[in-house]
Structure 1
Amino acid sequence: MSVVAVLAVDGVLGFELTVPVLVFGTAAMVAGEDVYEVRVCAERGSTVDTAAGHLSLRAPWDLDAAAEEADTLVVPARSGFRDDPPPAVLHTITRAAERGARLASICTGAFDLARTGLLDGRRATTHWRYASELARRHPAVDVDPSVLFVDEGDVLTSAGVAAGLDLCLHMLRRDHGAALAAEVARTIVVPPQREGGQAQFVRHEDPADPGASLQPTLMWLETHLREPLTLGDIARHAGTSVRSLSRRFREQTGTTPLRWLLRARVRRAQQLLETTDLPVDRVAEEAGFGAPATLRHHFTRLVGTSPRTYRRSFRPTLR
């Protein structure tokens, strides 16, 4: 069982605090066994006031439990992120890192990770509104404001607010495979993996006309992955021109139609590799890649390993 510790500091944002509790706690429920133990940790004996004073809480675990026992330590955003947290918090993060714990920040929690020096020389992200400030304060950090999260292996950072969900689902997917992560996402009613980055939120608002939403077309694509779809096919389903389709995809998903389709096919291949004994050539066919060589090329490029290696590593052991 893996221990996930979530730091509770004065000014912590309630949503970011509860996101890892929700995702990893739901994973244990869905798996039917204790794959994670989630601990909310604060300074011993303290009462934590959340942002805007809407809620006060007493954490059931102290910082020693995070520093000495956590396999994953999550640092949520807090309203006073421009100021240093209590020294014990930074000490806890450093001790956990020295012991080999995986570190993750949600939104402006990246500022506290950066204060420890653990982000120096690494790529990281935070809320797009504060990305330039993070880069200015910590020039040794390679700040990428365009993505939803960054995975540096033992240190992960996410963009603002709801991107914490994307990050936690990603860590769950990395720990136990796409099948469990997808089931948890369905349970908490969020997409298993959002496409695009923060640009879709920075530059554009939701379509004022409900008829302009791409959601029906995205759902249609998910059910037609096996077919050799073209831009024209997708545009016809959306009832628009290819040019307008590309613009709307950029606005609503942050990527192009064909890139979205490619990633959806890779996700389908991951699911089939985890949940079936189909040979790779059949997986390629069912996921819409046609030839196994095409599947291997795109799968290796996007997932970082071959389909066969992925199957050996990520076949679910949980029933």
Structure 2
Amino acid sequence: MAKEIGFLLYPGYLLLDLAGPMSAFALAERYSQQMPYRMRMVSVPGGPISNSFGLSVETSSLNRKRFDTLIVVGGARWLLKPSDSAAIRSASSKTRRTASVCTGAFVLAQCGLLDGLRVTTHWRRAAELQREHGAVRVESDAIFIKDGRVWTSAGVTAGIDLALAMIEEDYGAAIALEVSRELVVYYRRPGGQSQFSTMSEIAPETDRIRIALSYAREHLTQSLSLERLAEVAHLSPRQFGRLFKAETGETPAKAVERLRAEVARNRVENDTEPVESIASAVGFYDPERMRRTFVRLYGEPPQSLRRKARRGS
């Protein structure tokens, strides 16, 4: 029997917050032996709802359907009336899962549905969500978080990550993997992974520094000394050090450390291998050095991040 998914819309919602996860759920049918999902667009009153581009879609009334999963999409601020909140709480109480994409978390928070839970939203709005809803535990750096029956995701494309995780929970990893391939997206970014990538934050202007960074990422287990990276960039160590700092804002050693930490964190949170093995595999060699790096960059040691990731899974 198909699982009913309701996408809750309101004036000014973001189209991509709807289309991304909806596409993932729709594609699941292609790779399953059944019709896995039936999707409906709903609003509290029903009727036409315009998105941020001014395009209008017809919606069903929220109180007329019962859903397996209710997903609130993000968009413009929606200051709910008491009757709106009551309708959303009532609908949520009848679902197996309630979720939000991006700033849809503000809607759930206004309804009191996030109190006491770990949640995330777009990184630009995380502090605002925390200020306005003190009972909510906002984690600004996560792609998505599952806390009990409530799921929340970061901005825009993170809604696809959330949908893939739900598909995997419902029908297994094989189908979720095929959907991710069809969408040409990673299968799948772990929920606790940072909304930012170290490689995307470091944006050098010249090809020589870009080549050195790419080399570093592909050879993390090797000795990535200043001299070795300078050789890859065809510069003297002194020239390379100066140019690297000018273009990235940090030293080559610090950049390499951050690259190693990013890869290590992904493995710590999503694998079961010993932390000592991970440290060696990503080039730290000394587990204590990796621990100190984690505390400085992420505020917690590897073991603490692993426990958090397991609680959120």
State which of 69, 72, 81 in structure 1 corresponds to 2:69: 72
SS at match of 2:201: coil
Alpha-carbon spacing, 1:189–1:264, altered in 2? closer, same or farther (3 Å)? farther
Ranges in structure 1 where 5+ consecutive residues have no aligned partner: 221-230, 267-287, 289-299, 306-319
SS at match of 2:124: helix
Residue 19 (structure 1) shift = 1.7
Work out whether residues 143 and 154 of structure 2, in 8 Å CA contact, stay in contact via their aligned partners in 1.
yes
CA distance in 2, matches of 1:215, 1:103: 43
CA distance in 1, matches of 2:83, 2:147: 25
1:247 aligned partner: 258
CA distance in 2, matches of 1:173, 1:64: 28
2:194 aligned partner: 197
Work out whether residues 120 and 140 of structure 1, in 8 Å CA contact, stay in contact via their aligned partners in 2.
yes
1:232 aligned partner: 221
CA distance in 1, matches of 2:189, 2:6: 25
SS at match of 1:120: coil
1:258 aligned partner: 264
2:234 aligned partner: none
SS at match of 2:47: coil
Is structure 2 residue 53 aligned with structure 1 residue 56?
no
| Per-residue CA distance 1:36-72 (angstroms, 9 max, x = gap) | 111111355522111142x22223x33134xx42100
| Per-residue CA distance 1:204-248 (angstroms, 9 max, x = gap) | 255555536759967x9xxxxxxxxxx425969xx8588654334
Alpha-carbon spacing, 1:126–1:45, altered in 2? closer, same or farther (3 Å)? closer
| Per-residue CA distance 1:229-276 (angstroms, 9 max, x = gap) | xx425969xx858865433456xxxx2x3344567867xxxxxxxxxx
Alpha-carbon spacing, 1:213–1:242, altered in 2? closer, same or farther (3 Å)? closer
How many equivalent pairs are there? 250
SS at match of 1:41: strand
Work out whether residues 63 and 89 of structure 1, in 8 Å CA contact, stay in contact via their aligned partners in 2.
no
2:301 aligned partner: none
Residue 170 (structure 1) shift = 1.2
Amino acid at match of 1:200: S
| Per-residue CA distance 1:122-149 (angstroms, 9 max, x = gap) | 1111111111111111100011111111
Is structure 2 residue 107 aligned with structure 1 residue 118?
no
2:20 aligned partner: 19
SS at match of 2:148: coil
Amino acid at match of 2:58: R
| Per-residue CA distance 1:131-189 (angstroms, 9 max, x = gap) | 11111111000111111111012101111111111111111122222211111100111
Percent of residue pairs identical: 33
CA distance in 2, matches of 1:194, 1:12: 24
CA distance in 2, matches of 1:99, 1:150: 21
Ranges in structure 2 where 5+ consecutive residues have no aligned partner: 230-251, 273-280, 282-305
SS at match of 2:140: coil
Alpha-carbon spacing, 1:42–1:244, altered in 2? closer, same or farther (3 Å)? closer
RMSD of the TM alignment (CA)?
A: 3.4
CA distance in 1, matches of 2:215, 2:221: 18
Alpha-carbon spacing, 1:33–1:48, altered in 2? closer, same or farther (3 Å)? same
Alpha-carbon spacing, 1:147–1:31, altered in 2? closer, same or farther (3 Å)? same
Work out whether residues 103 and 156 of structure 1, in 8 Å CA contact, stay in contact via their aligned partners in 2.
yes
Alpha-carbon spacing, 1:140–1:23, altered in 2? closer, same or farther (3 Å)? same
